[in-house]
Structures are given as C-alpha cells and as structure tokens.
Amino acid sequence: MSLSARRRAVFAVLILALTAALAVALTLGSVRLPVAGVVHSLLTAAGIPSSAPALTPAGEIILWTIRFPRVLLAAVLGGGLAVVGAVLQTVFRNPIADAGLLGVSTGAALGAVVAVHLGLTATTFLALPAAAFTGSVLAIAAVYVLAHLARRASLEGLLLTGVAVSALTSAATSTVLVATEEYRVKAILFWLAGGLDGRSWTHLALAAAVILPAALLLTLLARPLDVLSLGDEEAASLGLHVNGARLLLLGLTAAIVGAGTAVAGSVPFVGLVAPHALRPLVGPLSRHLLPAAFLGGALLVVMADLAARTVNPAFDLPLGSLTALVGAPYFLVALRGIEDRG
C-alpha cells in the first residue's frame, strides 16, 4: 500500500474510532443511558424527527448537562495536548519533547495552587482555570525572556532555561502547598491529579475557544514547522525568520496547554503517546501528523476518561493518573525502539 493510501486509511480509521468512542462515552457511566434514547435525544436536538424511544427526564439531564460537555471536553483536551506534543517534538527535534519541558505545565500548576491557597476559588467562579492559564503563560514568557536576556534564544538555551523555570515553579508550588490550610489541599490534589469530573459547558467553551483555533493555526503553520525541524541554520538560509517562527509556535502550544491544564489539571503522556504512535503511520510531515495527532489524542483521552469514570464504581479515578498508567509503560517500550534504531 502506498504511503498516501495508508494515510487515508489511517485517517478514516481514526475518525470512525473517535465517533464510536464518543458514542460509547455518552451512553456509559455511573448511570447507563439506552443507546436508542441517546440517539433520539441527539436527533431531536438537531431538529430531526425521531421515532426511537425517548430518554427519561433524568436521563436527558444527565446526557445534556453532565455527560455531553465532559465527553466533548475530553476530546478537545486530548486533541490539543497531542498537537502540542507533535509540535514540540518537531521544534526541538526530539521525540521525547513535551509540554512539561518548557515550564508550561508546572507554571499552570503554580497558578492554580496560588489561587486555591488565597481562597479565590471559593469566592470567584472560574478563578482556578483563570489562575492556571495565567501561570502557564507567565511561565513560558519567563522562559523566553530569560533565554533572550542570557542571549540563549537557541534551541539548547530555551530547553535549559525551561528546565530551570520548571524546577523553580515546582519548588514554589511545593512551598505554597505546605503553607496551605489542610482542607484546601484536597482541592489542589484533585486538580493536580487531573480530571474532568463535573466540568460544564462553560469549561468546555473556555477550553475550546483557545484550543481549537490554536490547534488549527498550528496545522496551518505546518510548513514553517517542518523547515524549522531541519535546524536553525538551514531554516534561516531558506528565508525563515527562525526566532519569530519559534516564538509563535511555542506561544500557541503554551496557550493550548494553559487552557487545557486550566480546566482539567495535568493530563500527562497524551502529547508523547499519540504523535509517537501515529508518526510511523502517516509520516513525519506536520500537515499530516498534526491533524492525525489531534484525532488520536482525542480518542485516547475520551477512552481514558470513560475508563476513569466506569472502572471503579465507588469513585472516579483521576484521569491524569490513568493516562500516565497507560502512557508510561507504552513509553518505556517505545524508548527501547528509539534506542535500537539510534
């Protein structure tokens, strides 16, 4: 099979699998909704008359106020995080680059912890996502400004500065955590573990308003991204404004991670696993890899969230721990592959 035929097949499978996963995720949960009822409710909402049996009023409420925003948020979040992983791996020419690298995730965590510590979350709706988003944007801005001040806007300079800023924000997070009253720590822990429990249409709107346009823009910037992957010197000699392009690409990834972390906490490994699994199937060119990664990441997190809320009947498992449970072993196996080839 030629590469382009295989690519089309992979996209078809991803779209079908994601559609099926979304459908299953809408019906399963602590309350199982009949498939026919869900179909009826969806058709009716779309203005299409349906003869299928309707859901109970309680079922309608579960479907529309609880399950729908949660499932869609899982898809948007997973897609966004996978695109970020694919972009960072290309920019840094490193198959294990991810959002933790530039201090974006740790910055978001610090913002959230500070908001909880100050008690803002109890008084102001959406204070936590706003603070997390602010934290991630400040962190990446700090990385960029510090790297420039030290005249290290190069790849290595950004990476090293990112590691330093990450360590700094993590230390600050621990310090604030220790100083926080005990009854608030639980809220922080819940958020740090990552999860989509109780997320509303408002959360979805907030995340989607940032993640979808940013992911689309990154896909449109696929060619400069590929040029950048060949090294700064070659990119510059081909007429690319290297520092400007990198700033734009990193800024967009920071916006996605910031928005995602703001509404769902930390959901690790999605950005590593999805691009890594799909790169051999669709090829490394960003205009193929980024859309494939979006679909793959969405599929991964929708499934992970479904598992998080159905595996254990007593309480939801943390989503972030689940993606790590699946992602870390996958990654260890994949690492061996990378070393064998290298």
Partner 1 sequence: MSAIVEARGLTVQRGAREVLHGIDLDVAAGEALALVGPNAAGKSTLLRALTGLLRTSGGTVAVGGRPLRSWSRDGLARKLALVTSEDEAVSPLTVRERVAIGRYPYTGPFLPLRPADHAAIAHALAMTGIAALAERRVGTLSAGERQLAAVARGLAQEPQVLLLDEPAAHLDIGHQLALFRVLDEIRATGVAILAVVHDLQRASDWADRLVLVAEGRIAASGPPREVLASPAAAAIFAVRIEEHAVPGRTAPLYSFREGS
DSSP H/E element including 95: none
Contact 199, 69 (CB under 8 A): yes
Compute the least distance from the CB of residue 259 to partner 1, in Å. Answer: 24
Compute the least distance from the CB of residue 256 to partner 1, in Å. Answer: 20
Compute the least distance from the CB of residue 234 to partner 1, in Å. Answer: 7
Alpha carbons 196 and 188: distance in angstroms, whole number: 14
Nearer to partner 1, 203 or 246 (CB): 246
Nearer to partner 1, 111 or 275 (CB): 275
Alpha carbons 161 and 163: distance in angstroms, whole number: 5
Compute the least distance from the CB of residue 280 to partner 1, in Å. Answer: 9
Contact 164, 125 (CB under 8 A): no
Contact 267, 99 (CB under 8 A): no
Nearer to partner 1, 172 or 248 (CB): 248
Nearer to partner 1, 101 or 207 (CB): 101
Nearer to partner 1, 47 or 239 (CB): 239
Nearer to partner 1, 202 or 237 (CB): 237
Distance of CA 157 to the CA centre of its chain: 25
**Chain residues that interact with partner 1, rule: CB under 8 A:** 3, 93, 220-221, 223-224, 226-227, 229-231, 233-234, 236-241, 279, 283-285
Alpha carbons 231 and 128: distance in angstroms, whole number: 38
Alpha carbons 297 and 274: distance in angstroms, whole number: 5
Compute the least distance from the CB of residue 237 to partner 1, in Å. Answer: 4
Contact 225, 90 (CB under 8 A): yes
Compute the least distance from the CB of residue 231 to partner 1, in Å. Answer: 6
DSSP H/E element including 102: none
Amino acid at 106: T
